[in-house]
Amino acid sequence: MRLRLRQLVIAAETAEAADQLKAVLNLGKPYADPGVAEFGLENAVFAIGEQFLEVIWPVKDDAPVQRFLKRNGGPGGYMVIFETDDIDAARKRLDGAGIRRVWNIDLDDISASHIHPADVGAAIISIDETRPWGSWRWGGPNWQKHAIEGELTGSILESPDPNTLASRWAAALGVPAVTHPDITRITLEDNEALNFQRGDTVKLEGFCITVRNAMKALERADKLGLESTGDGVIVGGVRLVLNND
């Protein structure tokens, strides 16, 4: 079964985080998916290479994401979306392991299942099968036109017990976790890495992104008054670790 990282999602309180993300990374025109209204949300989806960065924010008081924002104490990393070529096998594995699917959809061009965050920890996982491989309904009908150069190379997840967190993600994804001296890692087929490290809380802490000119991105972030982290910048409660293309 093929599996690759396709989209990373920030949950924010307002659209300001989307504006900041666009400005810092010099992203193209975002897609506003009307389908997220089902969850009481609005969103902005930005294409970077053949992958996507999404910011969601609630527009209804009873939107489920409000629980995340309250628990997290503000915005932060919310979801990681993977593309597979065999959703049936993925669903069978999840069901056999007792990992709950909380939302499922089957359309002509895409099938997807969201995994209950309590069963994996740190974030919602979505596993999506596209038809054809490489298409992406969630990016909008003209996402290629608006994509910038770059790629998402991974994510950073924190936990007081990173090995246990990694093992839960490995079970959900069907990809082994390997423990290194200072970090535990799940590596996908395109060398995208899910990095699990020790932290005080369980959360999706950072996104690893390769861009055309990381220094320029950091300069734009500084002009906006955003917090620098040395290797990147904080946007929407998420540490963006920036590397040069």
Question: What domains are defined for the chain?
Answer: 3-144 (3.10.180.10), 148-244 (3.10.180.10)
Q: Is 52 helix (H, G, I), strand (E, B) or coil?
A: strand
| 16-46 per-position pLDDT tens digit | 999 999 999 999 999 999 999 999 999 999 9
Q: Supply the pLDDT for residue 181.
A: 77
Q: Supply the pLDDT for residue 180.
A: 81
User: What's the pLDDT band for 155 if we cut at 50, 70, 90?
Assistant: very high
Q: Supply the pLDDT for residue 29.
A: 97
Reading the block at residue 98, the tokens are: 């007792």
- Is residue 47 scored above 90 in pLDDT? yes
Share of residues in the chain with pLDDT > 90 (%)? 95
Do 4 and 83 touch, CB atoms closer than 8 A? yes
Average pLDDT across the chain, whole number:
96
CB atoms within 10 A of CB 226: 18
CB burial of residue 43 (10 Å; 0-12, 13-18, 19+): buried
Q: Supply the pLDDT for residue 116.
A: 95
Q: Supply the pLDDT for residue 143.
A: 97
Q: Please state the rounded mean pLDDT for residues 157-186.
A: 95
Do 208 and 191 touch, CB atoms closer than 8 A? no
Q: Please state the rounded mean pLDDT for residues 178-192.
A: 91
Q: Supply the pLDDT for residue 174.
A: 97
C-alpha 36/C-alpha 51 separation (Å) is 19
Could you give the C-alpha distances from 142 to 30, 31, 45, 146, 183, in angstroms and in order? 10, 9, 12, 7, 38
Q: Please state the rounded mean pLDDT for residues 151-156.
A: 98
C-alpha 4/C-alpha 78 separation (Å) is 18
C-alpha 87/C-alpha 49 separation (Å) is 24
Q: Supply the pLDDT for residue 203.
A: 97
| 117-143 per-position pLDDT tens digit | 999 999 999 999 999 999 999 999 999
**Exposed e or buried b for every residue in 154-172, given b needs 16+ CB within 10 A?**
bbbbbbeebeebbbbbbbb
